[in-house]
């Protein structure tokens, strides 16, 4: 499958802040789910969902949740929330992204992942 290289870094732009700063599912979790889904293309839900569930469970076990607002403990739609994000929130978010990327890599490197 050929994908426009300009599209790749842009495709998940709106995931940040729990989907456009709404505090819902962490963008790193959403992006990880998307990567698993692409890797499992054509395998069907019965094969892909357990892999997604493993990833989400691992993330939740590590950080205590998967929703942005509970992870960073602020509302990004407020001035206070945005000030927090600028001062120290990005450090937390960076940790979430790194963990998700490492976990996705580990999961996808497993042999027979969708068997």
- List pLDDT tens digits, range 10-50: 888 898 889 999 999 999 999 999 999 999 999 999 999 99
Q: Is 64 among the domain residues? A: yes
Q: Which two tokens stand for residue 90?
A: 């990005």
Higher pLDDT, 5 or 80: 80
Residue 67: inside a domain: yes
What is the rounded average pLDDT of the residues 89-94? 84
Report d(CA 50, CA 113) in Å as an integer: 10
The pLDDT, as a whole number, for residue 7 is 80
Whole-angstrom distance, CA of residue 115 vs CA of residue 81:
43
As for how many domains the chain has, the answer is: 1
Cα–Cα distance list, 29 to 2, 32, 40, 82 (Å): 24, 5, 16, 21
Residue pLDDT, tens place only, 39-87: 999 999 999 999 999 999 999 999 999 999 999 999 999 999 889 888 8
Does residue 1 surpass a pLDDT of 70?
no
> Do 55 and 107 form a contact (C-beta atoms < 8 A)?
yes
How many contiguous H segments (helices) and E segments (strands) does the chain have?
7, 0
The answer to whether residue 115 sits within a structural domain is no
2 is a domain residue: no
Residue 95 within any structural domain of the chain: yes
Give the integer Cα–Cα distance in Å for 104 and 86. 27
Does the pTM of the predicted model rise above 0.85?
yes
Whether 96 maps to a domain, the answer reads yes
Range of the domain at 80: 7-109
* Residue 95 pLDDT grade (very low, low, confident, very high; cuts 50, 70, 90): very high
Instruction: Determine, yes or no, domain membership for 52.
Output: yes
| DSSP secondary structure letter of residue 25 | B
């Amino acid at each position: 499958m050929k994908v426009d290289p300009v599209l790749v870094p842009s495709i998940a732009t709106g995931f940040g802040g729990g989907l456009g700063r709404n505090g819902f599912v962490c963008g790193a979790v959403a992006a990880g789910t998307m990567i698993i889904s692409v890797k499992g293309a054509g395998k069907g839900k019965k094969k892909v969902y357990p892999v997604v569930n493993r990833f989400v469970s691992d993330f939740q076990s590590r950080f205590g949740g998967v929703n942005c607002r509970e992870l960073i403990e602020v509302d990004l739609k407020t001035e206070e929330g945005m000030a927090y994000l600028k001062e120290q929130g990005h450090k937390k978010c960076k940790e979430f992204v790194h963990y998700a990327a490492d976990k996705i890599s580990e999961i996808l490197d497993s042999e027979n992942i969708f068997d």
